[in-house]
Structure 1
Amino acid sequence: MTLPEGVERHGFDGETSLATRGEPVYGERTDGEWRRWDPHRSKLGAMLENGMETGLDGGETVLYLGAAAGTTVSHVADFCGPTYAVEFAPRPVRELLDAAETRGNLFPLLKDARKPERYAHVVEPVDVVVQDVATRGQARVAALNERFLDDDGRLLAAVKARSEDVTADPDDVFDAVREELSAEYELLETTRLEPYHEDHLGVVARPRRD
C-alpha cells in the first residue's frame, strides 16, 4: 500500500507510526512538525495501518461525516485539500473549531449527516467521503451523502456493529450493511479494523453511476 502524499512514518519514543504535519490536536506525540496518527483513536488511521487501499493520494477535496472533536479530520486536513467536517453535537464542535484555527482548509459544520440537504448549499462536489458516524442506519447515511461524490470518488467508511444492533452478531451486521451499501456503491474492499477497533468494519467503495 502506498501512503498518501503528506502521510509518512516517523519514530515516536522508539515506535514507528503514521504521521501528518500539523499542529497537535488531541495530545498526540510529535516529532518536530510531525504528529503521530494514532490508529487506536482513528478508524481511518486503522484502515491505513491495516493496509487497505483507500485511494487517497493527498490533496483531495473531502466531506467528513462524524468529525467529533477533530481527532481524525485534523489529520485528513493536514494532507488533503478543502475538508468539510460535519458534526451533530455542539460540545465536540467547540474543540473542532479549535483544530480548524490552524487549518485554513478545514471547515466545521454543525449539521446532521442524516440530513445532507441542510448543508448541500455549502459543500462542493468532493473526491472522498469519510464516514465515522456512530448511529443506527450507517449505510443509509452513506447513501444519502453519495450525492456529493464525483463519479470516480471514494467512500471510506468505518461501520460500528454495536451502533446498528448491540445484541446482534457483528458478522451478521456487517453482511447486512454490505448488502445495503451495494445498492448505491460498488464495494472495493472491506476489512475488520482489529486490533485497533473491536467490531468495526472498514469499507472502501465507489458510487454506482449508470
Structure 2
Amino acid sequence: MSEPTLPEGVERRTFDGSDRLATRGEAVYGEPTDGEWRAWNPDRSKLGAMFELGMETGLRGDETVLYLGAASGTTVSHVADFAGPTYAVEFAARPARDLLDAAASRPRLFPLLADARKPATYAHVVEADVDAIVQDVATRGQARVALENRRFLADDGRLLLAVKARSEDVTRDPEDVFTDVETELDEGYEILERRRLEPYHADHLAVVARSR
C-alpha cells in the first residue's frame, strides 16, 4: 500500500506492537489508547480506510468539516481531534445520543440531529464555505445527498464520499451501482480519485471530488 499524506494531528503510532493510525483525544468506541493518543480503526471507519489505502484526501488539519452520517461518532470524533469546527449531522436519535457523549470532550464538534437529505434544515447552523464534506450515509440516493450539500462547500473544498452499494440496490452488481453514482455526481463534482475500500469495507467505493 502507498503511504498516505496524513493531516497534521494524525500520526502512525504503535499500539500492542502494531503500527496504526492515531489521533489525540478521549476514547469513544473502545479503541486502544497510549497516553493521549487513541488508535483509529479502519475496519470501523471509511475515512480511516481511505487513509490506510493511500488516498489523497486533501485534508491537512484545521479544516472546517461538514460530516454527513455521523452515527455514534466513531469517525467524526477522530476528525474533530485534528480538524477545526466539525459539524456532525445524524438523523437517528439513538446513535445521536452517543454522538453527544463523544462531543462532550471535543469543543470543536457540533452534533446536529438532522436529515442529510434536507440540508435546508441545518443551513442556519453550518457555516458557508466548509473545507471538506465527509459523507457516510447508508441510504438510497447517496449522490443526491452529496449534490444537495454542495452548497456548503468552498470552491477549493473536497468531497470525501463513501458509497455503500447495498444501500442503493442490494440486487445489482456493486460496480454498476458505483458507475451510476459517479455519473450522477458529475452534475456538480469533478472526481479526482476513486477506490474500492476492500479489505476494510466490502462493496464500498471511496470518492474524492471537488466542486465544479
Match of 1:160 in 2: 164
Give the match's secondary structure for 1:189: strand
Give the match's secondary structure for 2:49: helix
In 2: Cα distance, 1:203 partner to 1:11 partner: 29
Say if 2:51 is the partner of 1:17: no
Give the match's secondary structure for 1:102: coil
Of the candidates 76, 83, 88, which is equivalent to residue 86 of structure 2? 83
Letter matched to residue 45 of structure 1 = G
Query: What's the offset of the Cα at 1:200?
Result: 0.2
Query: What's the offset of the Cα at 1:74?
Result: 0.0
In 2: Cα distance, 1:15 partner to 1:180 partner: 40
Please give the per-residue CA displacement for 1:24-46, whole angstroms capped at 9, x wherever unaligned. 00000011111000000000000
Please give the per-residue CA displacement for 1:133-153, whole angstroms capped at 9, x wherever unaligned. 000000000000000000000
Of the candidates 130, 134, 139, which is equivalent to residue 135 of structure 1? 139
Say if 2:98 is the partner of 1:105: no
Say if 2:190 is the partner of 1:189: no
Letter matched to residue 154 of structure 2 = D
Say if 2:127 is the partner of 1:124: yes
Give the match's secondary structure for 1:139: helix
Of the candidates 20, 40, 44, which is equivalent to residue 43 of structure 2? 40
Q: How many residues align?
A: 208
Letter matched to residue 144 of structure 1 = E
Say if 2:199 is the partner of 1:198: no
Please give the per-residue CA displacement for 1:80-113, whole angstroms capped at 9, x wherever unaligned. 0000000000000100000000000000000000
Gaps of 5+ in 2: none
Moved over 3 A (4+): none
Letter matched to residue 20 of structure 2 = S
In 2: Cα distance, 1:29 partner to 1:182 partner: 40
**TM-score for the superposition, normalised by structure 1:** 0.98
Letter matched to residue 131 of structure 1 = Q
Give the match's secondary structure for 2:199: coil
Query: What's the offset of the Cα at 1:2?
Result: 1.7
Identity of aligned residues (%): 76
Give the match's secondary structure for 2:161: strand
Letter matched to residue 115 of structure 1 = K
Please give the per-residue CA displacement for 1:44-86, whole angstroms capped at 9, x wherever unaligned. 0000000000000000000000000000000000000000000
Match of 2:58 in 1: 55
